[in-house]
Amino acid sequence: MSWSRRIPILVMVVFLSLGLQHSFATPTLEISTSKPVYEYGDFLSINFKVSELTGGDVIIHIIDSSNKTSAPINLQIYNSNSTITSPFPFYKTTFSPGTYHIDAEYSGSTASVSFNLIDSGKIVIPIEFKTVVKTWKQGSPSDKDYAGLIRELINDNIINVANYNNQTNQVHIPQWFKNSANWWSDDFISDNEFGLSIQYLVQKGILVI
């Protein structure tokens, strides 16, 4: 075979070889969080960068300070640079303060990142409590209903009341506090303002629960 015929064949072989190497290459993966330190009420936001889109999911595990690992979380990405934010914020009822690690895997490539969760003292009330108060607007909740909700917030350590003792058989919830609870459920009052008012009112004996 003459060199004039061999050269096109050699060129084709080289391009095919390069194409095969590229098709079997593992895509690179980088992950980062929107900030290194979060507090209760913040939403976890994770950025993913991949060298190519393969159509697969990013699979992450979140590991807490005690090395307890979450179930795998599958996340779909549609761009080589994607940011995914948790639909729910950090709550005391679901996350303890400490250092967390995120391990990620995408089409054979792995990456990890860490962040810290701190308790800054800000009161953040889980959304399910607000949902309960919203449903009460349609009925006639009793003082015991409000007292039970407040006790749960205290017992879950969401609201801290010094020397709280729930052994009382008496319950008293002023009507104006129920109005405040409604305003809070409609987002006219922040979690922190509502929680601090409960702390003060219970300590002063104005709320008897």
d(CA 188, CA 181): 10
Fold of 27-118: Immunoglobulin-like (2.60.40)
DSSP state of 25: S
* Structure confidence at residue 24 (pLDDT): 55
pLDDT, tens digit, for every residue of 138-184?
A: 888 999 999 999 999 999 999 999 888 776 678 999 999 999 999 99
d(CA 196, CA 209): 16
* 93: Cα within 13 Å, side-chain hemisphere: 16
pLDDT greater than 80 at residue 6? no
Our CA angle for 29, 34, 40, nearest 5°, is 130
Residue type for position 88: F
For the chain, the domains span 27-118, 127-203
Who contacts 44 (Cβ-Cβ below 8 Å, separation ≥6)?
33, 34, 38, 85, 86, 90, 115
For tokens 């889980």, name the residue: 126
